[in-house]
């Protein structure tokens, strides 16, 4: 599984990439074929997210289906945690549906 980071001119925490890679590896527990995962990090400044200054979008392709999750928070690591939590939930639901069909 390849992990691609796309950083839109942000200063990230030093341990952002290693921690993200470690947390993404946990998704392998579903035994799904995920060829690559894209992690986009950007700053947001619109009034809708007054307290959030980082946006992390995690997307992947699983068996031809596109999954994406976005997390917002003032800190980049917390935004990443929120996005991965949502993606984990989506993949869990897909795994359950796939297992029932067998």
Distance CA 92, CA 86 (A): 10
Q: What is the pLDDT along the chain (102 residues), one digit of tens a residue?
A: 899 999 987 888 889 999 999 999 999 998 888 989 999 999 887 666 666 688 999 999 998 899 999 998 888 999 999 999 999 999 999 999 988 876
Counting the structural domains of the chain, the total is 1
CATH number for the domain spanning 45: value is: 3.30.160.100
Distance CA 13, CA 49 (A): 21
Domain residue limits at 96: 2-101
Task: Give the pairing type, strands 34-43 and 54-62.
Answer: antiparallel
Short-list 31, 29, 67, 73, CA closest to 55: 73
What local confidence, expressed as pLDDT, does residue 79 receive? Answer: 93
pTM: 0.88
């Amino acid at each position: 599984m390849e992990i691609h980071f796309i950083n839109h001119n942000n200063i990230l925490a030093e341990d952002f990439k290693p921690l993200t890679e470690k947390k993404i590896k946990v998704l392998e527990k579903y035994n799904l074929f995920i060829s690559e995962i894209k992690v986009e990090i950007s700053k947001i400044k619109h009034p809708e997210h007054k307290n959030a200054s980082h946006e992390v979008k995690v997307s992947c392709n699983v068996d031809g289906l596109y999954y994406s999750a976005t997390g917002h928070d003032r800190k980049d690591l917390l935004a990443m945690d929120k996005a991965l939590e949502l993606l984990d939930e989506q993949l869990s639901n897909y795994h359950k549906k796939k297992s029932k069909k067998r």
